[in-house]
Chain A
């Protein structure tokens, strides 16, 4: 089941530069997308989300872009900081009325920000 894919297992970026993490999905019923950050031996920490009615959502250094026609979303981190080094997961859900939408996760991309 590869409904959500993150094709880059790792990404290395210099401090101060932009980090771009990508995510593709196949299920056109997905209508809510989230990015989580995860450190080893910890739970996923929510970063930012976007509804399918939007194409961009911004929160401080983090911006998520959604291209519905391409079934693609990306997370931009500007400027990148060493503390951003972690595994980033893309997740998607399809909300059914009166049911909690399960999240389908990608495989994750390990971001390393070098000083």
Chain B
């Protein structure tokens, strides 16, 4: 069964450093997402990406964050200058609108990257 994969599983970085989190969405999916979950809190939406551009972003997704689809398979989240409060699990997700126009909104999630900022 196709699945979303994410690397690395755990990333430790120093405050102020740049990190890039990588995701390989399900191959025929068209919509891509990043969410995060701070320990003990809800899963929160960060950004959605469609047709090579951001379609929606949350207030969390400020100028320090960027996303990119550098090739036909990878989807990345970059944090330019990490802060302590960026420590969280980051989840990538993808969904398929359906080739026949059928709306399929189910988002499938990757296993997550645990980001620890020291």
Assess the B112–A42 pair: CB atoms within 8 A: yes
What is the interface of chain B mostly: helix, strand, loop, or mixed?
A: strand
A105 / chain B contacts, CB cutoff of 8 Å: 42-44
Q: Is B35 an interface residue (CB 8 A)?
A: yes
From 26 to 55 in chain B, residues with beta carbon under 8 angstroms from any chain A beta carbon are 31-33, 35, 42-45, 48-50, 55
Closest to A43 in B: B109
Q: Is B64 an interface residue (CB 8 A)?
A: no
Number of CB contacts from chain A to chain B under 8 A: 66
The interface size bin for chain A is 20 to 34
Number of B residues, CB within 8 Å of A: 30
Assess the A49–B106 pair: CB atoms within 8 A: yes
Contact partner of A34 (CB less than 8 A), chosen from B33, B48, B106, is B106
From 32 to 84 in chain A, residues with beta carbon under 8 angstroms from any chain B beta carbon are 32, 34, 36, 41-46, 49
Contact partner of A44 (CB less than 8 A), chosen from B32, B91, B103, B105, is B91
CA distance A104 to B56 in the complex (A): 13
Assess the B50–A102 pair: CB atoms within 8 A: no
B45 / chain A contacts, CB cutoff of 8 Å: 102-104
B95 / chain A contacts, CB cutoff of 8 Å: 100
Q: A interface vs B, CB < 8 Å?
A: 32, 34, 36, 41-46, 49, 89, 91, 93, 95, 98-108
Give 7 A-B contacts (CB < 8 Å), ordered by A residue. Answer: A43-B112, A46-B108, A89-B43, A95-B105, A99-B48, A100-B56, A102-B45
